Structure 1
């Protein structure tokens, strides 16, 4: 039997347990791909990754296998591994999943939101305005995701954001491409503000409508980029 006095120590050991190398490499590569630091079509060298992270090929291949399962890399035996091009169809599927889960999330959040939650969301919106004022548009998606993840947390279904995050990788790459469009992120920020004000009023109908308008308007902007440039996968491919 575990003594009560040992529980904090056991929890501490659990928290401090090292993250496996394969998972670390997966997380770093996934973020680089989603944020377009690794552009669609870029060559991925297993040997270079092994040298960079000081590991054998096994954890690198495990990480690449997970990314391939998410359609973020293409692995061609005896040819090479490449960052996948953006698939509009996969991005659209991610949008449909995201919209369904976020609407449920905002509907529940109205029931549980507190004044402290509203203050935290307003703080994130202030961060968005700061990013716009500085013109650091590449930073926006991080705060945007924190905003939506916070709403998922308020809904008391925090795992919803985990599922959304897995589904929206191709969508996120389109979000990153759309960031520099004139006025787009300023409009997104106003939509976020409308969501918070509806939550503040505890009005479920207004909150759901504000979230729906936000998600569909953003996707409409991204949809206009379908097939635009070398980063997109051809529909007949």
Structure 2
């Protein structure tokens, strides 16, 4: 598979971590598309590692819902599951709303400066069309709000859940990056003015955008969506 040839390793604690992060990135950016077959032997050879860390990385990705491992059959990248997306968005919204409201009670001028710097860096990434950096900075913005609230573990839970959103989020950057950045600007205005009610409204609007993206992807890229997904009115 051609995608294997472009896999590279970055420094990490273990070989399994390196393989995991390399494959995770390829899946999120759709370089390994839903339905693609993946081979332990081919990936091990392309990355110059033994098959055991590849097998372990496959298991971790399957636990996240990114890979389907079946005995005596090819391992494949899973299709985007609307149900998993709905669940992940619900959990993310519930946790982030509480973190945002708490953060507004605790935020300092230094915190605001750090958040402003992230928004400015996002704007720069948007201007240079650096989707991967924009995506990373988007996460950093939301993570910092959880940290300011004094609940860093909330982001750990959100991070584990949002993997179901990330493929759609990456797709949405082509058409929705400016809207995402504009949302962050509005949220920042609420934080500076200590307006928790308006901040919650803006955050809910921001996190609901993924539902519109799902509707668009169903129309434009139906091959990416789980064929027998439970249908729900958006």
TM-score, L = length of structure 1? 0.84
* Alignment correspondent of 2:155: 161
Secondary structure of 2:222 counterpart? coil
Contact 2:168/2:213 (8 A) holds in 1: no
Q: Which has the larger radius of gyration?
A: 1
* Alignment correspondent of 1:12: none
1:233 correspondence with 2:233: no
1: CA distance, partners of 2:15 / 2:82: 31
* Alignment correspondent of 2:110: 116
Q: 1:206 aligns with which of 198, 204, 207?
A: 198
Tell me, which stretches of 5 or more residues in structure 1 are unaligned? 1-17
* Alignment correspondent of 1:190: 182
Deviations for 1:103-132, whole angstroms, at most 9, x for unmatched residues?
111011112211111111111111222222
User: CA 1:168/1:20 → structure 2, altered by over 3 Å: closer, same or farther?
Assistant: same
Deviation at 1:34, TM superposition (A): 1.7
* Alignment correspondent of 1:44: 38
2: CA distance, partners of 1:70 / 1:111: 34
Deviation at 1:98, TM superposition (A): 0.7
* Alignment correspondent of 2:17: 23
Q: 1:177 aligns with which of 171, 177, 199?
A: 171
* Alignment correspondent of 2:67: 73
1:118-133 superposed matches below 5 A: 118-133=112-127
Equivalent pairs, count: 218
Query: Which deviates further from its counterpart, 108-117 or 203-212?
Result: 203-212
2: CA distance, partners of 1:190 / 1:202: 18
* Alignment correspondent of 1:5: none
1: CA distance, partners of 2:131 / 2:14: 32
Contact 1:152/1:161 (8 A) holds in 2: yes
1:91 correspondence with 2:85: yes
Contact 1:74/1:82 (8 A) holds in 2: yes
1:144 correspondence with 2:101: no
Contact 1:175/1:222 (8 A) holds in 2: no
Q: 1:56 aligns with which of 30, 33, 50?
A: 50
Tell me, which stretches of 5 or more residues in structure 2 are unaligned? 1-11
2: CA distance, partners of 1:112 / 1:221: 33
Contact 2:32/2:77 (8 A) holds in 1: yes
Deviation at 1:236, TM superposition (A): 5.3
The runs of at least 4 aligned residues of structure 1 exceeding 6 Å deviation read: none
User: CA 1:137/1:55 → structure 2, altered by over 3 Å: closer, same or farther?
Assistant: closer
2: CA distance, partners of 1:156 / 1:37: 36
2: CA distance, partners of 1:61 / 1:79: 15
